[in-house]
Structure 1
């Protein structure tokens, strides 16, 4: 459905009391969307350590019909044969 769409991931809030708010917008592309899990798998060229698992992120997906935005958390960040993958929920 959203596979191969470009996306941007940006931290909007920190959960930890002394956490760092990263205001950089990270470019990504959607590699998989799983509506039953409410998860989006994103591929990024940025270092995985740039993304905190202790923050709230906004994901904006550019579709052919416009831009969709949702807010959630990163569940996982890992490397596989596709590259740097982020699981967003």
Structure 2
């Protein structure tokens, strides 16, 4: 549905007081989107996978044929495999139109 589309990911809020909020915008590419589990798998840039916090809320903005969408969620997994560096974003409160 949204696969292979570009997405911009940015930290919105951190959970730990000791963690500094990252203001950088990360250019990613959507690998998969699962509406049932409300999870999105994203390819990230080389060397960036460890930059993503597992203790923060991120906003993801992307474009599709139907328009521009956004969502907020938490990263549940960060990993590297033969396809490259990836993260999994668990979406909270669904998608919204931007």
Name the TM-score class by shorter chain.
Answer: over 0.9
Q: How many residues align?
A: 89
Unaligned runs of 5+ in 2: 91-98
Q: Distance in 2 between matches of 1:13 and 1:86?
A: 18
Superposition RMSD in Å: 0.9
Give 5+ residue unaligned stretches, structure 1: none
**2:69 is equivalent to residue 68 of structure 1:** yes
Deviation string for 1:12-69 (max 9, x for gaps)?
0010011110011100000101111100000011421111001000011121332100
Give TM-score, length-normalised by structure 2.
0.86
Structure 1 ranges of 4+ moved more than 6 A: none
